[in-house]
Amino acid sequence: MDRRVFRNLPPSVSGKNVDTIPRVSSLIITRLLLAFLLSQTITAMSVSSQAASLPGLSVARDGSLLRNGVPYRGVGVNYTDAFLRPLRHPEDESYRDDFRKLAANHIPFARIAACGYPASDYQLYLQDKEKYFKVLDGVVQAAEESNVGLIADLFWSNTAVPDLVGEPRDQWGNSQSKTRQFMRTYIREVVSRYVNSPAIWGWEFGNEYNLSLDSPDAWRNLPPVNPRLGKTRSRSPDDALTTEIFTSALSDFARTVREIDDHRMLLTGNSVPRFSAYHMQTERRNGADNAEQFATMLLRQNPGPFNPICIHTAPVSPMPHFAKRPISYNELIQTCAGAARSASKSLYIEEFVTCPAKTDCSVATRRDHVSEVLAAIQAHNVPLASVWVYGRKMVHDPASLSFDDDTASVLQLIGDFNRKWSLR
């Protein structure tokens, strides 16, 4: 401390010689500094302790993903049947064994549909919520017992809720619609029920809604209607979806979840944007987007609190392209990861397909595809990814993986990668 500040003081201050004041003051300052540092340490310990006690995955200020308060990365599976199968066949609890197998093979999480697919899947929910949630309780509890995380998608199909309440799809954009009222009710009931479950890692809005946005010929490509499955009897131009409608629904989704759960990650469930998405939104026409326009739409379709950014893609044809220039899978992931970082967000390769339709589905080829994805994940530090699809039995899907057939080696490849690469 500068002794000059005491030059005009009288010889004695409170009975002490002036010359002792600097030494006393220095002692006081030292004690105050120690007290401050101790308080900061205690605060930091408190924050760290609090972060470590939060279930699921949360997002740090820099956009990185955290689990138990520390950075996290890992590769999981899409397991859409986990709830849909017992919802339609309550006696089927094969998900219990499936979760045990995933855990035993170092696959830490599964993305599930925590909802119905068509409107008819919600009949039990409407008629007997206790029975409906008993089924979902079983899935969540089984995941808890196996220490497998769940990314819970709450509105998988963009037609299910509107069809259920008898509205066109554009009512996703109307905050007063029956569609949005149902959305908010379902969110509150599901999120409040499982907010303290360690199995729930994140909340997701829907599946690939972005692929239906801003189409210049939407009227010619509307989803079919099955009157037996809901109240909707026909489609009309009102069933066209736009970016504005989608982001309005996303905002309401995030706000409603955050009323109950203030920390888990929020996900859109989007695919990679169409490679003409920018032209489709801004000009309502098809056109080849360049890399910058592609990145703009990637962020626009994963707005605000939705982090990590979701993409669904695979290293197979048709090749992606920027402004008609074909690009490699590695360049696509590099572009997506860079766009995410520019917005202080992470990237989640939410669906990577090892066996798309009309391609070679041999185990050797599927392992090659997975190896290419895992190499891109490591090269661009992508913290989260999940393969499509595990244990799909209700419909024939050549992409389905199982520990009970020769595709087990594909899952084991992912498990081996997790053992070497994951942070936890």
How would you classify the pairing of strands 65-67 and 70-71?
Answer: antiparallel
- Per-residue pLDDT, 424: 56
**Which residues contact residue 375 at a Cβ distance below 8 angstroms, ignoring those fewer than 6 apart?**
330
- How many alpha carbons lie under 13 Å from residue 422 in its C-beta half-sphere? 20
Query: Between residues 45 and 219, which one has the greater pLDDT?
Result: 219
Would you state the CATH architecture of domain 60-421? Alpha-Beta Barrel (3.20)
Confidence of residue 227 (pLDDT cuts 50, 70, 90): confident
In whole angstroms, what is the distance from residue 178 CA to residue 182 CA? 6
- Per-residue pLDDT, 382: 98
pLDDT in tens, 321-341: 999 899 999 999 999 999 999
Nearest to 361 by CA among 405, 415, 416: 405
Enter the tokens of residue 87: 């919802």
Mean pLDDT of the chain: 88
CA distances from 275 to 52, 223, 303, 391 (A): 40, 21, 18, 31
Nearest to 148 by CA among 56, 251, 263: 56
This model's pTM is above 0.85: yes
CA distances from 211 to 140, 214, 241, 270, 391 (A): 29, 9, 10, 8, 25
Whether 14 has a pLDDT exceeding 60, the answer reads no
Helix (H, G, I), strand (E, B) or coil at 416: helix
In whole angstroms, what is the distance from residue 255 CA to residue 303 CA? 13
- The proportion of the chain whose per-residue pLDDT surpasses 90, expressed as a percent, equals 77
Whether 2 has a pLDDT exceeding 50, the answer reads no
Confidence of residue 141 (pLDDT cuts 50, 70, 90): very high
Sequential DSSP letters for 180-225? HHHHHHHHHHHHHHHTT-TTEEEEEEESSGGGGBT-TTGGGGPPP-
Query: Between residues 150 and 19, which one has the greater pLDDT?
Result: 150
- Per-residue pLDDT, 317: 67
Whether 47 has a pLDDT exceeding 70, the answer reads no
- The CA-based angle 351-357-362, given to 5 degrees, is 90
Check the CA dihedral 192-197-202-207 and report its sign: negative
Check the CA dihedral 396-209-153-266 and report its sign: positive
Segment 309-320 shows an average pLDDT of 87
Enter the tokens of residue 203: 């909340």
Whether 18 has a pLDDT exceeding 90, the answer reads no
Going from N- to C-terminal start, the domains of the chain cover 1-53, 60-421
Contact between 125 and 116 under an 8 Å Cβ cutoff? The reply is yes
Sequential DSSP letters for 369-394? HHHHHHHHHHHTT--EEEEE-BS--S
Whether 15 has a pLDDT exceeding 50, the answer reads no
Whether 39 has a pLDDT exceeding 50, the answer reads no
In whole angstroms, what is the distance from residue 414 CA to residue 385 CA? 10
Confidence of residue 52 (pLDDT cuts 50, 70, 90): low
Neighbours of 379 (CB within 10 A): 12
Segment 174-197 shows an average pLDDT of 98
